[in-house]
Amino acid sequence: MLRRREVLAGGALALAGLGSRRADAAGEVVVGVLYALSGPSAQNGLDARRAFETALEVINGNYDLDLSAAKGDGLEGLGGAKMRLVVADHQGDPQKGRAEAERLITQDKVAAIVGCYQSSVSATVSAVCERYGVPFVCADSSSPSLTRRGLKYIFRPAANDEMFSEAMFDFMDAQRKQGKTIGSIALFYEDTIYGIDSSNTQRKLAGERGYKITADVKYKTNSPSLTAEVQALKNADADVLLPTCYTNDAILLTKTMGELGYKPKAMIAQAAGFSEKATFDAVGAQLQGLISRASFSLDLAAKRPSIGVINEMFRKRADRDLNDNTSRQFTALLVLADALNRAGSTDGSRLRAALAATDIPGTRTIMPWKKVIFDAGGQNPDATPVLIQYLGTKFVTVFPEDVAVAPAKWPMNA
């Protein structure tokens, strides 16, 4: 069946039939972008496309911003070549992701692939890229196991769920030191690699740091009902609920909590669905005081002007602010552009070597990170997480103390 793909070049959007454009067109570097453009996660894919379109405008234009790949027209290391994106749809299905990755590599001749939001899809896509010797930049999938499989062509600029979970437990430890009562937690997680890896990490940290787990609830992703699961959480009555779920499940969880009268004392979410505008448009009134781990702090714009400029560029396209996901997507493409400039080539092995040698100061990104470097597995160990809290109609940074703009409201339903 002929699939339609979105092709972005210089910020313009066009549609092209499968294989109708080639990567070796004069003056172009073609990069594959693989997200769900249909199905339950379609909104995430749409927002991702807008984040990549914003990054593409920065890379192909000439902006006086202290960001890697912003200054100079196009990719200067490749003679000013313009980047072109071919955006393919994996529908949230790992097998469709595998097939689309192969098409991007063999037919569209992409120099690299960026993706994929769902960790389960990134697992299959990165394996395809490894087989073909094409770099895969893991923009936003956070399962720790992705960079622990001995692959040489995967690179993740952002934190993984171990790093995020450690920040969450560091925050709870800090609250304890301030005299807050936090003795028990409840785990609630979806049944793919994202939820399972997250729960494994949180279970381990709870044991190490002395938190009792009063509920350990795994559910089927995109489940039509969560009544039994929420009743179990309510009965457990933990001091903190730690949910790990995508957007539709986050909305259903929150609605079901309201229906059953379950008001946890505090919620600290593993982002994903609890960082999306759709969730807060639907059930934001019930999520006042929710805390989420994050890669991004819009508050930092007061100290770093480039954040405000990029956020406004994104807002014009998406009618919303950058969030945990879209900020990581934007950053991933600039990290790839930086490597392309240093490689001076689209050859897979040379581009891989350039990515492995990446060393970008955090101040030259829009993220609150120390820097962008990669360890032997392709993980950036310096992607410093933050915690943000939903208050009123926006998130504010509450942890760690050196970047916090307000103290956390605790408990959330006080």
Tell whether the model's pLDDT for residue 364 goes beyond 70: yes
Q: What is the mean pLDDT of residues 321-326?
A: 91
CB 138 within 8 A of CB 336: no
Q: What is the mean pLDDT of residues 93-116?
A: 97
Per CATH, 4-159+302-372 and 161-294+386-399 having the same topology is answered: yes
CB 147 within 8 A of CB 378: yes
Under the banding of pLDDT at 50, 70 and 90, the label for residue 43 is confident
- What are the sequence ranges of the domains in the chain? 4-159+302-372, 161-294+386-399
Q: So what's the pLDDT on residue 229?
A: 96
Q: Is the peptide bond before 157 cis (omega within 30 degrees of 0)?
A: no
Q: So what's the pLDDT on residue 413?
A: 72
Summarize pLDDT for 245-267 with one digit per residue, the tens.
989 999 999 999 999 999 999 99
Strand-pairing partners, residue 360, are 372
Q: So what's the pLDDT on residue 378?
A: 98
Rounded to 5 degrees, what are φ and ψ at 82? -90, 145
Question: Mean pLDDT across the chain, nearest whole number?
Answer: 90
| Structural element, H or E, at residue 208 | helix 193-209
CA atoms within 13 A on the CB side of 368: 25
Tell whether the model's pLDDT for residue 44 goes beyond 50: yes
Q: What is the mean pLDDT of residues 123-151?
A: 96
CA distance 207 to 413: 27
**CA distance readout (Å), 166 to 96, 337, 390, 400:** 33, 30, 20, 12
Q: So what's the pLDDT on residue 20?
A: 30
Question: Span 161-294+386-399: which CATH code?
Answer: 3.40.50.2300
Summarize pLDDT for 47-76 with one digit per residue, the tens.
999 999 999 999 999 999 999 899 888 999
Under the banding of pLDDT at 50, 70 and 90, the label for residue 272 is confident
- The residue type at 297: S
Q: What is the mean pLDDT of residues 93-120?
A: 96
Collapsed DSSP state (helix, strand, coil) of residue 332: helix
- Which residues are CB-neighbours of 322 under 8 A, at least 6 positions away? 51, 296, 298, 310, 311, 314, 330, 366
Q: So what's the pLDDT on residue 9?
A: 53
Dihedral sign (CA 246, 379, 33, 328) = positive
- The residue type at 134: V
CA distance 219 to 241: 15
CB 116 within 8 A of CB 97: yes
Question: Percent of the chain, pLDDT > 90?
Answer: 76
**CA distance readout (Å), 196 to 32, 189, 243, 379:** 28, 7, 12, 19
CA distance 187 to 218: 8
Tokens 């409201």 belong to residue: 409
Summarize pLDDT for 140-191 with one digit per residue, the tens.
998 999 999 999 999 999 999 899 999 999 999 999 999 999 999 999 999 9
Tell whether the model's pLDDT for residue 93 goes beyond 80: yes
CA distance 170 to 154: 28
CA distance 322 to 333: 15
In terms of Cβ atoms closer than 10 Å to its own Cβ (0-12, 13-18, 19+), residue 224 is exposed
Question: Span 4-159+302-372: which CATH code?
Answer: 3.40.50.2300
Q: If you count them, how many residues does the chain have?
A: 414
Residue closest to 213 by CA, chosen among 174, 187, 244: 187
Under the banding of pLDDT at 50, 70 and 90, the label for residue 99 is very high
Under the banding of pLDDT at 50, 70 and 90, the label for residue 7 is low
Residue closest to 120 by CA, chosen among 84, 96, 104, 152: 96
Q: What is the mean pLDDT of residues 321-349?
A: 96
Q: So what's the pLDDT on residue 8?
A: 61
Tell whether the model's pLDDT for residue 411 goes beyond 60: yes
Question: Percent of the chain, pLDDT > 70?
Answer: 93
**CA distance readout (Å), 24 to 74, 337, 348, 381:** 16, 17, 14, 34
- The residue type at 374: F
Tokens 């470097």 belong to residue: 373
Q: So what's the pLDDT on residue 6?
A: 61
Tell whether the model's pLDDT for residue 302 goes beyond 90: no
Q: What is the mean pLDDT of residues 15-34?
A: 59
Tell whether the model's pLDDT for residue 26 goes beyond 70: no
Q: What is the mean pLDDT of residues 6-33?
A: 55
Q: Is the peptide bond before 400 cis (omega within 30 degrees of 0)?
A: yes
CB 53 within 8 A of CB 317: yes
Under the banding of pLDDT at 50, 70 and 90, the label for residue 342 is very high
Tell whether the model's pLDDT for residue 391 goes beyond 60: yes
CB 324 within 8 A of CB 295: yes
